[in-house]
């Protein structure tokens, strides 16, 4: 069989899978996968550098399917090239336990780089991957890091606002080695995209500083597709966008260029008819042995390069401890010794403490890289004396994300998924709302990212209710696998940074604008990693347990002092992280909170959820106001007198 014939036959097999799997599942998206089958073949069989037997090779090319609804396309390629999926996995598409889930999920399926599906996220993740590649290549050289990131995106990706933010940043930074292919099929779920879209995507991306080539209707021409991708790869100083006019559902006579092809199974009759057009047997999940052999060979064609890379890595001598720490996402030996401490009685905003900790750790945790969404200094994410990462300086570890919180979160996810980088990003806590989609995906994907969210309460003061987070702690604590830490003082902030680096996964550091007193017994206190601990105990059994977080822990201490003058014994518990405390066993939780003692929580935010731990809650269940912070704290009940009033209620 000629090479061109086996390639055409492979494309037919992928299109067959793209119809058969959604049909069997009675769920899924056939049309986009069918239209892009020749492109996927060109990428996986001709262009991309990877070894399917080693999906974690650090110098592999990355592939991101931003239009994640077309997941059967990626699963088909991963099966055919030998990433470990089986034909039974393809047959069990969208079924419980199958690696071929409804949308691509990092960590669930070998070969999936990022979790996609929410449109636009994959495109922004790809920007982060390209950024990480540039940074690592600048630090260690092209012998170790020199690869491309490819991303497929559709109309939905480009309509979402995240695409504007991320593409603007990528163009500004001149991130070549990033190739995006826009599947311009003119179809959305509601019908033709012209119902809601008249943008000129090519001109938009050119305005962002991208190289753009509109290749027109070459969707069936594997040679032309390969050539277009190679031209994009060769562009220096700019990311590249290839605009490909495709026809969703092709070659179905009934459903090509229809909205039905987007998200509906084709039905047995149309599948039979379409396979007849392609000259395929009317057999579900047909995959002849010659196609499988051809693609398995494609999946391992770069194995010699991969083996040579690992041999070079093992014999690498220049900065090897740094390289190992970067690739393993950790600090250098003894890095925790760099953590600063503060003396009781000092007065330090936890955002300022966070900056001091970050600057102390940056030299000994070489993978740390990040910045702020135009609030770099405000949020404690400024690296002193650092040169910004830019198109002219790839050595910089300071990233200026601009006023692009959504893109910042998604780019951070891409950096973390790439590996070699522990990204951090800062903005005001209230603007975490702009970041929720990537924060959720970071939690779902267990990505090692660190958020420095500051100005954490009505302590923001005069900026008023638009800038004063009230419900944010409760809403983010509700997100599974997100570690939310609100430290009580500077020393707890240092431990929070240690936890964020050491434990992996996403961590939110929720820090104060205003100065907070450094408390007794917090310096070097590793109990922060247990989520809650007794900060002040009583000689006898306590009459009441006061539980505080962040700036309100010092309020609990002051309240305990006042109660002591009245003969009431109050235990003070600092609870910087609910999630870590929930991870402790029952014995530890009982030892900290006690049994049978009334409990009062104190936190300058929504009381939602505190009933889990407390009998009475001092909090703020309404929006704030514009006034000096000290006035607001008193006005809204963050006072010793109000806490004591709640104590009296529970004691009675």
DSSP letter for 466, please. Answer: G
Kindly report, residue by residue over 39-59, the tens digit of the pLDDT.
Answer: 999 999 999 999 999 999 999
CA 167, CA 169: separation in Å to the nearest integer?
A: 5
User: Which fold does the domain 528-651 belong to in CATH?
Assistant: Rossmann fold (3.40.50)
Do the domains 3-304 and 528-651 sit in the same CATH topology, yes or no?
yes
Rg (CA), the chain: 27
Given a cut of 70, whether residue 1 has pLDDT beyond it is no
Tell me the angle at which helices 3-25 and 289-299 cross, rounded to the nearest 10 degrees: 100
- Look at residue 315 and give its three-state secondary structure: coil
Identified catalytic residue from 270, 382, 405, 552: 405
CA 631, CA 289: separation in Å to the nearest integer?
A: 76
Kindly report, residue by residue over 276-294, the tens digit of the pLDDT.
Answer: 999 999 999 999 999 999 9
Tell me the two tokens of residue 227: 């050539």
CA 304, CA 118: separation in Å to the nearest integer?
A: 36
What is the four-CA torsion angle of 349, 350, 351, 354, rounded to 10 degrees?
Answer: 130
- Look at residue 264 and give its three-state secondary structure: coil
Given a cut of 80, whether residue 226 has pLDDT beyond it is yes
Q: Are 553 and 535 in contact (CB under 8 A)?
A: yes
Kindly report, residue by residue over 292-328, the tens digit of the pLDDT.
Answer: 999 999 999 999 999 999 999 999 999 999 999 999 9
C-alpha dist (Å) from residue 165 to 127, 171, 391 = 11, 10, 17
CA 574, CA 538: separation in Å to the nearest integer?
A: 15
pLDDT (mean) for 413-435: 98
Across the chain, what does the average pLDDT equal? 97
Kindly report, residue by residue over 124-153, the tens digit of the pLDDT.
Answer: 999 999 999 999 999 999 999 999 999 999
What is the four-CA torsion angle of 381, 383, 387, 388, rounded to 10 degrees?
Answer: -10
Kindly report, residue by residue over 353-368, the tens digit of the pLDDT.
Answer: 999 999 999 999 999 9
% helix, strand, coil for the chain, step of 5: 45, 15, 40
Q: Are 250 and 219 in contact (CB under 8 A)?
A: yes
Q: In the chain, where are the structural domains located?
A: 3-304, 335-517, 528-651
Q: What percent of the chain has pLDDT over 70?
A: 100
The CATH class of 335-517 is alpha beta
Tell me the two tokens of residue 334: 């003894």
Confidence class for position 2, pLDDT limits 50, 70, 90: confident
CA 95, CA 77: separation in Å to the nearest integer?
A: 19
CA 646, CA 651: separation in Å to the nearest integer?
A: 9
CA 341, CA 491: separation in Å to the nearest integer?
A: 6
Kindly report, residue by residue over 573-605, the tens digit of the pLDDT.
Answer: 999 999 999 999 999 999 999 999 999 999 999
405 among known catalytic residues: yes
The CATH code belonging to domain 3-304 is 3.40.50.970
User: Three-state SS across 83-126?
Assistant: CCCCHHHHHCCCCCCCCCCCCCCCCCCCCCCCCCCCCCHHHHHH
Q: What is the DSSP track for 561-627?
A: HHHHTTT--EEEEE-S-HHHHHTS-HHHHHHHH-SS--EEEE-SS--TTGGGT-SEEE---S---SS
Cβ atoms within 10 Å of 308's Cβ, excluding its own:
11
Tell me the two tokens of residue 153: 């995106």
Kindly report, residue by residue over 165-178, the tens digit of the pLDDT.
Answer: 999 999 999 999 99
């Amino acid at each position: 069989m000629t090479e061109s014939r086996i390639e055409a036959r492979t494309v037919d097999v992928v299109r067959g899978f793209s119809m058969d799997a959604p049909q069997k599942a009675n769920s899924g998206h056939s049309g986009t996968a069918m239209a892009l089958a020749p492109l996927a073949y060109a990428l996986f069989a001709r262009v991309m550098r990877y070894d399917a037997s080693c999906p974690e090779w650090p110098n592999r090319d990355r592939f991101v399917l931003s239009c994640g609804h077309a997941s059967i396309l990626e699963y088909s390629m991963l099966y055919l090239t030998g990433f470990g999926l089986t034909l039974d996995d393809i047959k069990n598409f969208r079924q419980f336990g199958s690696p071929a889930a409804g949308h691509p999920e990092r960590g669930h399926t070998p070969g999936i780089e990022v979790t996609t599906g929410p449109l636009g996220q994959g495109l922004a993740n790809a920007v982060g991957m390209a950024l990480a590649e540039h940074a690592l290549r600048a630090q260690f050289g092209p012998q170790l890091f020199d690869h491309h990131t490819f991303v497929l995106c559709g109309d939905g990706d480009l309509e979402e606002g995240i695409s504007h933010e991320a593409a603007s940043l990528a163009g500004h930074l001149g991130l070549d080695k990033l190739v995006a292919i826009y599947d311009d099929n003119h179809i959305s779920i509601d019908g033709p995209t012209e119902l809601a879209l008249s943008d000129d995507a090519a001109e938009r991306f050119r305005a962002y500083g991208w190289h753009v080539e509109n290749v027109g209707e070459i969707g069936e021409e594997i040679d032309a597709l390969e050539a277009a991708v190679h031209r994009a790869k060769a562009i220096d100083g700019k990311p590249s966008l290839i605009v490909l006019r495709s026809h969703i559902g092709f070659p179905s006579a009934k459903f090509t260029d229809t909205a039905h092809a987007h998200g509906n199974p084709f039905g047995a009759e149309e599948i039979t008819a379409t396979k007849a057009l392609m000259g395929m047997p009317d057999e579900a999940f047909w995959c002849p042995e010659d196609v499988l052999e051809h693609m398995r060979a494609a999946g391992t064609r770069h194995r010699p390069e991969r083996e040579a890379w690992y041999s070079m890595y093992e014999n690498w001598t220049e900065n090897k401890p740094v390289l190992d720490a970067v690739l393993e996402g950790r600090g250098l030996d003894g890095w925790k010794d760099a953590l600063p401490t503060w003396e009781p009685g000092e007065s330090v905003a936890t955002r300022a403490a966070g900056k001091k900790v970050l600057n102390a750790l940056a030299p000994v945790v070489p993978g740390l890289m990040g910045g702020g969404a135009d609030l770099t200094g405000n949020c404690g994410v400024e690296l002193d004396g650092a040169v910004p990462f830019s198109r002219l300086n790839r050595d910089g570890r300071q990233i200026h994300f601009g006023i692009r919180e959504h893109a910042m979160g998604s780019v951070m996810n891409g950096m973390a998924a790439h590996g070699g980088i522990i990204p951090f990003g800062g903005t005001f806590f209230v603007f975490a709302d702009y970041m929720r989609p990537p924060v959720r995906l970071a939690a779902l994907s267990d990505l090692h990212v660190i958020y420095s969210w500051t100005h954490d309460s009505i302590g923001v003061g005069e900026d008023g209710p638009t800038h004063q987070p009230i419900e944010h702690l409760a809403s983010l604590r509700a997100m599974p696998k997100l570690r939310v830490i609100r430290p009580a003082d500077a020393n707890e902030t240092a431990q929070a940074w240690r936890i964020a680096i050491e434990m992996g996964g996403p961590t939110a550091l929720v820090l104060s604008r205003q100065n907070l007193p450094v408390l007794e017994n917090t310096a070097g206190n590793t109990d922060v990693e247990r989520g809650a601990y007794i900060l002040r105990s009583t000689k006898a059994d306590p009459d009441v347990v006061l539980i505080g977080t962040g700036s309100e822990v010092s309020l609990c201490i002051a309240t305990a002092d006042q109660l002591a003058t009245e003969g009431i014994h109050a235990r003070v518990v600092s609870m910087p992280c609910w999630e870590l405390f929930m991870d402790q066993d029952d014995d530890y939780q009982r030892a900290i909170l006690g049994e049978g003692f009334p409990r009062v929580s104190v936190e300058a935010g929504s009381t939602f959820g505190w009933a889990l731990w407390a009998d009475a809650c001092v909090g703020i269940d309404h929006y704030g106001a514009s006034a000096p912070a000290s006035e607001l704290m008193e006005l809204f009940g963050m006072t010793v007198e109000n806490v004591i009033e709640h104590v009296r209620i529970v004691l009675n």
